[in-house]
Structure 1
Amino acid sequence: MNVERITRLEDVAADWLARLHSPECSAAERAAFEDWLAASPRHVEAWLEAERLHCLAGALATDEMLQAAAGEVLRPSPRQASRVARGRGWSWTAAAAAMLVLAVGAVQWMRPGPATIVDHATVVGEQREVLLADGTRMLLDTDTALVTRFDRRQRVVELAHGRVQFEVGQDRRPFLVRAAASTVRDIGTTFQVSRRGDEVDIGLIEGVVLVSRGDDGPGRKLAPGEQVRVDPQGRFTATRALDLEAATAWPRGELILSKRRLDDLLAEMNRYAEVPLRLADSTLAGIAINGVFRVDEQDGLIKALEENWGLRAERRADEILLHGPPR
């Protein structure tokens, strides 16, 4: 471990904290700060730690128990008062003892402590909202499984599979979402993470997130309305526009399509269905579909395909086959 490098990074984060809290901080400096954050996940961690310590110092300064303990240490005995009156100081010893009291309190506060670990999951066709203790709202889409691990120092979500929308609660602890080879660091925002196998898609609705390869890899900062895909090896695709209309529709239980292929529609709808829809003829896959469909209304979709696109449904025990228009 390069202790000197870590110390320098902590110093840089502390310097940024002081500059951003200054009333003279300019827009250019704030932009430079965001660029510095995006340069590395370690920068984000150092910044959040600097903020946490800043808040900790404020909390310790107003903690009644610590103030009382420090007051007892700093209050001179009659003999000490006599020595002070004679000009013989005792302040160095008392101040050191008081600092020790504060330091012990700080160490106790900063220890991670036992983590609170909770499993959350939905079955096929189910969507469920979960409100976490820190105020974070998670909307779990169909067939989704994740684990939350919260301790005093950080909040971590491990996504096993499925899709989740996060509205992150305000908290000084870092909020991380780990999915396959990717780690998403939130900086107060609303975003979505989807995992299929070891391929992960991240879309940002509002705020700022930093996506990295694992916890230590290079980062990619997303702006609102952007998305990126991370492959199983941790490689990023080019950042592209997020379809905000579609992204905000699925949390309402809707699919909004504009000139999307029929096979894409069926693949999405089948995520919510016990009995899947299949194409009897692969040439039907490229039919362009427009419309708004409820994810929990498979019969409504079938009716729309029959009435508007001339398809015909054949119901079987374990699937529903879609045939083309009669010739």
Structure 2
Amino acid sequence: MTRNLSGQPARHEPASAEEWLARLLSPESGADDRAGFERWRAADPQHAAAYAAAERIHRRAAELAGDPLLRAAARAARRAPQRSHRRAWLLAGGMAACLLLAAVLLWPAREQADLVQRYAQAAGLPQNVLLPDGTALALDAESALTIRFGAHRREVVLERGRAEFGVAHDPARPFVVRVGEASIHDVGTVFQVSRDDAGATVGLLQGRVDVSGGRSGDRWSSTLAPAQQLRIGADGRPGAVAPLDLAAARGWTQGELRFRGRRLDQLLAEMNRYSDTKLRLGDPALAALTVSGSFHAGDQQALATALARGWQLQVRRTAERELTLLPRPGATYR
């Protein structure tokens, strides 16, 4: 018999979406079950879609639990005398059948109503969310987006910040992300989209995406392959397809920020998004310093210490939640 580290018998892991749903809804479900579920979901893109479908069926069944017709059928069966047991169950069965027929007729109408939901993240580490269709979303700090999922289309509008999408396969409902006037059409993939005042960037980690934009008479489109990115200016015009730093792209979703030749003022602006403690420049001349390295998001003290040692800066605490970087006397900066 297989046992875990605590000496208890290891529980059998479910093999289907329905079994996983039952396991996760169980009062006995714990962290090990959640970790096992994440492994199962990541093993096959169809697993996420299957689980989302199982959740929809579960929600529909829950909606019926309080239906007066169904409760009446159950009461009729309980009240029926023993000698008419068969007749009572025929009555209850007939009422339940009517209820199921009504559900079949009503559910498609409910399905036509789009599901609209907004997700927002303040300062702090990225948030991981499983969207209703089974898509895995990683939402970065100071980011916000709105989803609109319908019977024939899944649409996301990125308002600000950065997000990664591990899209659940569903050919009947294309997955589209809109950022400004540009649209990113998923073709079974993992991709990232970021938006700032200067425009937007689309980066592809796996699969393929089609990016398009512009207005009638001036439309453009581009297809990205893995490890490629496309920058779209504030005017809606695309730049050239460029290589994507996969290590940096994967790093931020895990709380690790990688920089290569980044201006110090830009680096501090990025790091400040992940913490209530802010790093400031005490001398504008330091802004153009270039920094390369990997830093843990939110660990401002470690970053300040690294800058003090590697770039000859002084660090002073100028407020309870503020660290200021200053030139070191006699140091030369280029």
TM-score, length-normalised on structure 1?
Answer: 0.63
Compute the displacement of 1:300 (Å): 0.7
Alignment of structure 1 residues 122-137 onto 2, 5 Å: 122-137=121-136
Q: Quick check: 1:175 aligned with 2:175?
A: yes
User: Are residue 151 (structure 1) and residue 153 (structure 2) matched?
Assistant: no
In the alignment, what sits opposite 2:8? none
In 2, the alpha carbon distance for the partners of 1:161 and 1:141 equals 10
Q: How many Å separate the matches in 1 of 2:243 and 2:111?
A: 38
Aligned to 1:191: 191
* Whole-Å separation in 2 of the counterparts to 1:151 and 1:215: 25
1:231-282 deviations in whole A, cap 9, x for unaligned?
Answer: 2321101111111111111111011223333223212112223243222222
SS at match of 2:302: helix
**CA contact 2:125–2:255 (8 Å) conserved in 1:** no
Do the aligned residues in 2 keep the contact of 1:110 with 1:153 (CA within 8 Å)? no
Distance 2:137 2:208 in 1: 17
Letter in 2 for 1:124: A
Q: Which residue of 2 aligns with 1:81?
A: none
Alignment equivalent of 1:245, drawn from 244, 247, 255:
247
Aligned partners of 1:126 and 1:249: how far apart in 2? 12
TM alignment of 1:1-327, pairs within 5 A: 113-172=112-171, 173-197=173-197, 199-213=199-213, 217-317=219-319, 319-327=322-330
Per-residue CA shift, 1:32-81, capped at 9, x if unaligned?
A: xxxxxxxxxxxxxxxxxxxxxxxxxxxxxxxxxxxxxxxxxxxxxxxxxx
What stretches of structure 1 of length at least 5 have no aligned partner? 1-104
Aligned residues: 221
Give the match's secondary structure for 2:112.
coil
Bigger drift between 141-150 and 227-236 goes to 227-236
- Counterpart of 2:78 in structure 1 is none
Cα gap change, 1:227 to 1:110, in 2 (>3 Å): farther
Ranked by relative contact order (alpha carbons within 8 Å, sequence separation 6 or more), the top structure is 1
Q: Residue 324 of structure 1 aligns to which amino acid in structure 2?
A: P
Shift of 1:223: 1.0
Paired residues of 1:181 and 1:230 also in contact (CA < 8 A): no
TM (normalized to structure 2)? 0.61
Letter of the 1:284 partner, please give it.
Answer: L
Counterparts in 2 of 1:187 and 1:214: CA distance versus 1, 3 Å: farther
Quick check: 1:180–1:198 contact (8 Å CA) kept in 2? no
Tell me what 2:41 maps to: none
Task: Output one character per residue of 1:179-232: Cα deviation in whole Å (capped at 9) or x when no partner.
Answer: 112111100001000011361111111111111116974211111111111123
Give 1:109 deviation, angstroms. 7.0
Give the fraction of aligned pairs with identical amino acids, expressed as a percent: 41
- Whether contact under 8 Å (2:147, 2:155) holds in the other structure is yes
Conservation of the 8 A alpha-carbon contact between 1:110 and 1:152: no
> Do the aligned residues in 1 keep the contact of 2:214 with 2:237 (CA within 8 Å)?
no
Tell me the residue number matched to 2:40. none
Moved over 4 A (4+): 108-112
Residues 215, 191 of structure 1: alpha-carbon distance in 2 compared, 3 angstrom cutoff: farther
Note if contact 1:126-1:143 (Cα within 8 Å) is conserved in structure 2. Answer: no
Decide whether aligned partners of structure 1 residues 143 and 301 sit closer, same or farther in structure 2, where only a CA change above 3 A counts: same
Aligned partners of 1:115 and 1:129: how far apart in 2?
Answer: 23
C-alpha displacement at 1:141, in angstroms? 0.4
Q: Which residue of 2 aligns with 1:8?
A: none
How far, CA to CA, are the matches of 1:184 and 1:239 in structure 2? Answer: 14
Task: Assess, with a 3 A threshold, how the Cα gap between structure 1 residues 111 and 186 changes in structure 2: closer, same or farther.
Answer: farther
Q: Secondary structure at the match of 1:270?
A: helix
Matched residue type, 1:197: D
Distance 1:241 1:272, change over 3 A: same
Shift of 1:308: 2.3
Specify every segment of 5 or more residues in structure 2 that has no aligned partner in the other structure, as ranges: 1-103
SS of residue paired to 2:253: helix
Q: Which amino acid aligns with 1:262?
A: L
